[in-house]
Amino acid sequence: MDSPDEPLTRLTARFEDALAFAAHLHAGQRRKGSGTPYVAHLIGVCALVLEHGGDEDQAIAGLLHDAVEDQGGLPTLELIRERYGPEVARIVEACTDADTVPKPAWRPRKERYLGHLRESDARVKLVSCADKLYNARTILSDYRGLGEALWPRFTASREETLWYYRALVAIFLPAGGGPLAEELARVVSELEGLLAGRT
């Protein structure tokens, strides 16, 4: 429950516009291996950002964090900058690991992203951690249901996926990621335990 002393994050017409814009950009996109509209992920990330103290710019960046990577590259980033300002564009750009099609090879792309994330500020880390936690929860839930049949959905193998999420935890936890980073660590540990039990 929120304390009455905590400042209220005000959401304006900019947020409403960004929600509609995100839904429009990703209208034909689905989550990997399911029929779930992609906007469910974007709303989930945005919710985590707001629940953990993010402001309107961070919430909008949460809605648009995959727009550059999946929906148009750098021209989309410039459109975001024009519509929502430089701070939203900065966070979205920092949360983007590729802005070209085809994307670069998976491992070097993720290594570059991790290197950049280490140098990013707390505002970027909040949005990125919300994204990674949402994804890790989904992987854990899907693995419980599908087992090893889950992994062909992904570019990376299960070992590479675990490496990546362990590396993310190693960045977010020491950086003071708080409850979001702590939950990410718990989810990754639980996934590791399930995988060890099925090896």
Q: Tell me the CATH number at 142.
A: 1.10.3210.10
174: burial class by Cβ within 10 Å (0-12, 13-18, 19+)?
exposed
Assess if residue 6 is contained within a domain.
no
Assess if residue 3 is contained within a domain.
no
Q: List the domain range (segments joined by +) for residue 91.
A: 13-198
**What is the domain count for the chain?**
1
Q: Which residues of the chain have pLDDT under 50?
A: 1-4, 199
Say what the pTM is.
Answer: 0.93
The pLDDT of residue 198 is 61
The pLDDT of residue 157 is 92
Assess if residue 118 is contained within a domain.
yes
Cis peptide preceding 174, ω within 30 of 0? no
The pLDDT of residue 2 is 42
Assess if residue 8 is contained within a domain.
no
The pLDDT of residue 117 is 96
